[in-house]
Amino acid sequence: MADKIYRVRMNDLSFSVEDVPKEWLGLGGRGLTSTIVAAEVDPECHPLGPNNKMVFAPGLLSGTAAANSGRTSLGAKSPLTGGIKESNSGGTSAGIMAKLGVKALIIEGLPEEDDTFYHIHVTKEHVTIEPIPELVGKENFEVLDTMLERYGRKVAVFSIGTPGEQRMLISNISVKDPQGKIRSLGRGGLGAVMGSKKIKVITVDAGDSKETYLADAATFRAANKAFTKALKENPISGEGLPAFGTDILVNIINEAGGLPSMNFRYGTSENAEELSGEHVAENIQERGGKTTHGCHAGCVIQCSQVYNDKDGNYVTSGFEYEMIWAFGANYGIDDIDTIAHIDHIMDDIGVDAIETGVTFGVAAEGGMLPFGDGEAVIKILTEEIPNGTPTGRVIGSGAGNVGKLYGVVRVPVVKNQGMPAYEPRAIKGQGITYVTTPMGADHTAGYAVATNILNSGGHIDPLKKEGQVELSRNLQIASAAIDSTGMCIFVAFPALDDPACLPALIDMINARFGAELTGDDVTNLGKNILKLEHAFNLKAGLGKADDRIPEFMKYETLPPHDAIWDFTNEEIDAFWDF
Amino acid sequence: MTINFNAFSFARLTLRSQGIECVNVDRELRDGMTIQDFIDELGFEAGEIEAVFLNGTIRPKSTVLHDGDRVALLPPGTPGSYRLILGIKAMNDQETSPE
């Protein structure tokens, strides 16, 4: 049976199962979510009002044996940025949705009853929408365990904690991972959209369904073999990430003078060695954790890890560079175990690690609490935010709003979204991605490399402007394309060295659908998605003036390189000349 | 001359297994040594060090070191687009491509 669109209407608690329109057939992941949001959501709508929609979609290769194909995309208008948003995550949901034949799950409208939260349960051609009062006010791990007890471990679970219920802009959506822990649809405050629709939890049960047919199974298997080989034999995806995780970047970015510290005052951190991937890996080995851990079935990179405390007890998994940076370098906590504890709390309550960490940096700058005070952070996350106190709501409103409330000038946001762990003054290519991506300041928007459009000539100097706009454009096009396959974006790393990697990925897509896509088709897909998202933002009122770096970066130099943001508006706007 | 020296990821493991301190340590070198001379002195083989930060920027391995320099050795395995954005790959390509 062909894939279907599952549509849930919260206004009358009804659902329909629809044929996939022809123009959506070749799309998946971000390509599909952004296409549907652009087609069905009024760009001028209030993100928390009745006219916003949530669109969940597995990738084109999700549910197959393709290595690293288990990412789920969620699209909506973001209440944080006011623009279009695609957030994606590992976990088990992409494979389960694909096996059930769910091309996309669209949730629209708001329920009439404002004091009831609902549970949406998706099965073959059926959806139930029922009140779930017993889980209101509970956090993610309790919600997750309750659902697993009710439906068994093979069910996909999306949930929000109390910040999402309260429609806080730092809230995210949790996704069950293969071990029964949590991954996150992190950025853009999409937990608040789920909260506005009064949905506490969504479960998807594929039962015995296996709708992921292959048009040419033999070719698919051969291409997947080549693809997996490329991932496993590459020094990044095959060795560096499994050994040290993404946190290996702390020392590297610090050495480059691009590790934002103390709310983006400095480009290096005194805490770098404590925070480093090397140190985290040592702790994991000493304490019986795991340096390798996959966020979804079929991952051969295993960049995640299991981090235990000094007594060998589980604390957290998915302990990523950006989270460790946010609380260690940017907010200044000098103890990695305190940061791990905070990571666990954030998984439980469901807040975006980057936005929350950047918010604490701005709050410290404004004098709300001292820099580096881990206990103060823990108290706010466990008491103030869940109870919706004024302090909890202030932090829950995100970095841009806290900056306004406290009269802070040094507020590192683009389109009101907090900047991740790479200083735009010292790593200028990243800065161009922050200002131009339709997503607001987002590092993963420019993460992938498509070698067929990469200008490999010449040395890129991260401190200089030359070549950066073109580089960022190429990275963003490739990232948009990879995000649409449902692949983890890390699959693009071997592509820099191994010319067999991306063609094998395209071969798999062709063998899955009986298509004849070329590398150029895929890069064109990336271009089209970017343009579609940009057009949505323009209609939403986000114009050129929103494609700008915070002003302080244009007059404050960043130690140690005394770097400054020196792009003209014309240079930035030329990004869209394609 | 005295330089300040760091080694990251696998390079750190390699040096530590030989009892060589490599986290923010000062090290005496002969005057006139290049980065490559230093890499050779530590016993690394070709390909084990992909790129080198000298005073915070990626520099050619043929660069002559000076008193007070800060050096960090980076083996293959840098994730993200940062291998590209920081100029690590371009420098490595330049140094390993046949003339």
pLDDT at B99: 56
- The parent domain of residue A467 ranges over 429-497+516-576
Mean pLDDT of A354-363: 98
pLDDT-derived band at A450 (thresholds 50, 70, 90) equals low
Residue spans per domain, chain B: 2-96
CA distance A564 to A462: 12
Contact B90 A255 (CB under 8 A): no
Q: In this model, does residue A458 exceed pLDDT 60?
A: no
Q: Residue A97: inside a domain, yes or no? A: yes
Contact B84 A475 (CB under 8 A): yes
Contact call for residues A476 and A470 (beta carbons, < 8 A): no
Contacts A490 to B, Cβ<8 Å: 79
Indicate which CATH number applies to the domain containing A182: 3.60.9.10
pLDDT-derived band at A250 (thresholds 50, 70, 90) equals very high
Q: Residue A237: inside a domain, yes or no? A: no
pLDDT-derived band at A451 (thresholds 50, 70, 90) equals low
pLDDT at A221: 96
Total domain count for chain A? Answer: 3
Contacts B85 to A, Cβ<8 Å: 427, 429-430, 460, 462, 471
Q: pLDDT per residue over A192-221, tens digit each? A: 999 999 999 999 999 999 888 899 999 999
pLDDT exceeding 90 applies to what percent of chain A? 88
Query: CA nearest A446 in B: which residue?
Result: B81
Q: Residue A209: inside a domain, yes or no? A: no
> Which residues contact residue A543 at a Cβ distance below 8 angstroms, ignoring those fewer than 6 apart?
none
A415–chain B nearest CA distance, Å: 22
CA distance A202 to A486: 20
Q: pLDDT per residue over A288-344, tens digit each? A: 999 998 899 889 999 999 999 999 999 999 899 999 999 999 999 999 999 999 999
Compare A508 and B81 and report the one with higher pLDDT: A508
- The residue among A378, A395, A417 that closes a domain is A417
Q: Residue A218: inside a domain, yes or no? A: no
Contact B77 A235 (CB under 8 A): yes
Task: Say how far residue A567 (Cα) sits from the centre of its chain.
Answer: 27
Q: Is A380 helix (H, G, I), strand (E, B) or coil?
A: helix
> Which residues contact residue A290 at a Cβ distance below 8 angstroms, ignoring those fewer than 6 apart?
A284, A305, A306
CA distance B71 to A117: 57
pLDDT at B82: 87
Contacts B83 to A, Cβ<8 Å: 236, 493, 496
- Are residues A400 and A442 both part of a single domain? no
The answer for B 32-61 residues in CB contact with A (under 8 A) is: 53, 56-57
Indicate which CATH number applies to the domain containing A549: 1.10.599.10
- Are residues A55 and A142 both part of a single domain? yes
* Nearest Cα residue to A493 out of B89, B8, B81: B81
B29–chain A nearest CA distance, Å: 21
Query: CA nearest B12 in A: which residue?
Result: A278
- Are residues A378 and A474 both part of a single domain? no
Q: pLDDT per residue over A135-187, tens digit each? A: 999 999 999 999 999 999 999 999 999 999 999 999 999 999 999 999 999 99
Contacts B24 to A, Cβ<8 Å: 273
pLDDT at A5: 98
Residue length, chain A?
Answer: 578
User: CA angle at residue B20 from B19 to B24, to 5 degrees?
Assistant: 135
Q: Residue A466: inside a domain, yes or no? A: yes
The minimal CB distance from A236 to the residues B74, B78, B86 is found for B78
Kindly report the three-state secondary structure assignment for every residue of A197-228: CCEEEEEECCCCCCCCCCCCHHHHHHHHHHHH
Whole-complex ipTM: 0.97
Exposure letters A4-24 (e unless 16+ CB within 10 A, then b): bbbbbbbeebebeeeebeeeb
- The residue among A353, A388, A417 that closes a domain is A417
Contact A235 B53 (CB under 8 A): no
Q: pLDDT per residue over A39-59, tens digit each? A: 999 999 999 999 999 999 999
Indicate which CATH number applies to the domain containing A321: 1.10.569.10
Q: In this model, does residue A459 exceed pLDDT 70?
A: no
Q: In this model, does residue A126 exceed pLDDT 80?
A: yes
pLDDT at A454: 56
- Are residues A338 and A196 both part of a single domain? no
Contact of B25 with chain A, judged by CB distance below 8 Å, is answered with: no
Contacts B23 to A, Cβ<8 Å: 273
- Are residues A23 and A165 both part of a single domain? yes
Contacts B15 to A, Cβ<8 Å: none
Contacts B6 to A, Cβ<8 Å: 251, 255
- Are residues A167 and A26 both part of a single domain? yes
Contact call for residues A339 and A374 (beta carbons, < 8 A): yes
What topology does CATH give the domain B2-96?
Ubiquitin-like (UB roll) (3.10.20)
Residue B94's alpha-carbon distances to A286, A382, A456, B59, B87, in angstroms, are 40, 52, 11, 11, 11
Q: What is the mean pLDDT of chain A?
A: 95
* Nearest Cα residue to B82 out of A472, A184, A152: A472
Q: Residue A65: inside a domain, yes or no? A: yes
DSSP letter for each residue of A415-447? TTEEP-SS-TTTSHHHHHHHHHSTTSS-SGGG-
Contact B82 A253 (CB under 8 A): yes
CA distance A70 to A64: 9
pLDDT at A452: 56
Q: Residue A335: inside a domain, yes or no? A: yes
Q: Residue A106: inside a domain, yes or no? A: yes
Q: pLDDT per residue over B12-45, tens digit each? A: 999 999 999 999 999 999 999 999 999 999 999 9
- The residue among A365, A394, A417 that closes a domain is A417
pLDDT at B92: 87
Contact B93 A456 (CB under 8 A): yes
Contact A422 B82 (CB under 8 A): yes
- Are residues A445 and A412 both part of a single domain? no
Contact A460 B78 (CB under 8 A): no
Mean pLDDT of A108-134: 96
Contact call for residues A105 and A156 (beta carbons, < 8 A): no
pLDDT-derived band at A477 (thresholds 50, 70, 90) equals very high
Contact call for residues A263 and A362 (beta carbons, < 8 A): yes
- Are residues A446 and A391 both part of a single domain? no
- Are residues A464 and A396 both part of a single domain? no
CA distance B9 to A248: 7
Cα torsion through A332, A334, A336, A342, rounded to 10: -40
Strand partners, A74: A56, A87
Q: In this model, does residue A541 exceed pLDDT 90?
A: yes
